[in-house]
Amino acid sequence: MKILVTGGAGFIGRHLVEQLARSNANQTVVLDNLHRAMPGQFSAGVEFREADIRDRRAVESAMDGCEVVFHLAAQSNVMGAVADADYAFSSNVAGTFHVLQAALKARVKRLVFTSSREVYGDPKRMPVRETSPLRPKNAYGTSKAAGEAYCALAAREGLDTVVLRLANVYGPGDRDRVIPLFAAAAAAGEPLTVFGEGKILDFVWIGTVVDALVKAGLGRSIRGPVNVGSGRGVAIAELARRVVQLSNSSSRVRIVPERKQEVGRFVADLTRAKRLLGIAEPEDSLWGLPQTLAVEARKIE
């Protein structure tokens, strides 16, 4: 089976591509513009193309002969999207439109779209079910909600689409998000800054996300969006303290006012994820934090 992974050189993409490469039955093509990713070697059998999803011809060429598409390419950072709303729109909305149109043209069997818990905005009730209203509060969440709408349109035109709404994914290889930023600060003995005293989010291990993606792409068809998270809330201030403790750091935790563009509270309802993707609810959603910090420490050294 020939598979295309857009954004396959990014944090989640690399883990997914390595998982796909372990199966000799799959031929994987990676398309990435390296906007946030770092160039590097892939496993044998993986074809890498440096190109942008906003380039329609490049997308169509990479998708030729593919049966399954995992669409991960995006401006995937909330504050990055706030700082450069034009890029967030052109990549996450126009780029997604190009990918969907190319998939329809190539008669792709299935496309998996990585959406985000940001589409919900600040929910009124938790845990948050997929039927909750979409009220994004920033450019990133709005772009992902628009991407979902275009996926629904493509589905009506005959493309089998699966939408996964990811919580805060963590694991080795990430950068510029809360856990790697905390790790870097702790290693340097600098304060760990928490934006908002009562902030609570759902963190999910990268391996859980990759398993969900593979099942969504290669398993039975799924109708309607599915949350992918841990089903447990973590106070960001507590996360910061755990990072300091595990890093044997002298850093202090500094709590400052929240940033208005960021969602302050989210915990995913996993009812559909358990039934459709076999996701289990861990006792401790941060069970992979020691491994993640160990990798980050080696990078800093």
Burial of 238 (0-12, 13-18, 19+ CB in 10 A): middle
What does the block give as tokens for 250? 């002298």
Q: Is 170 labeled as catalytic in the residue annotation?
A: no
Could you say which of 87, 120, 140, 170 is catalytic? Answer: 140
Contact 268, 117 (CB under 8 A): yes
The amino acid sitting at 112 is: V
* Residue 49, phi then psi, degrees to nearest 5: -125, 120
Return d(Cα 19, Cα 211) in angstroms, integer: 9
The alpha carbon dihedral of 24, 29, 33, 36 has a sign of: negative
Residues assigned a catalytic role: 140
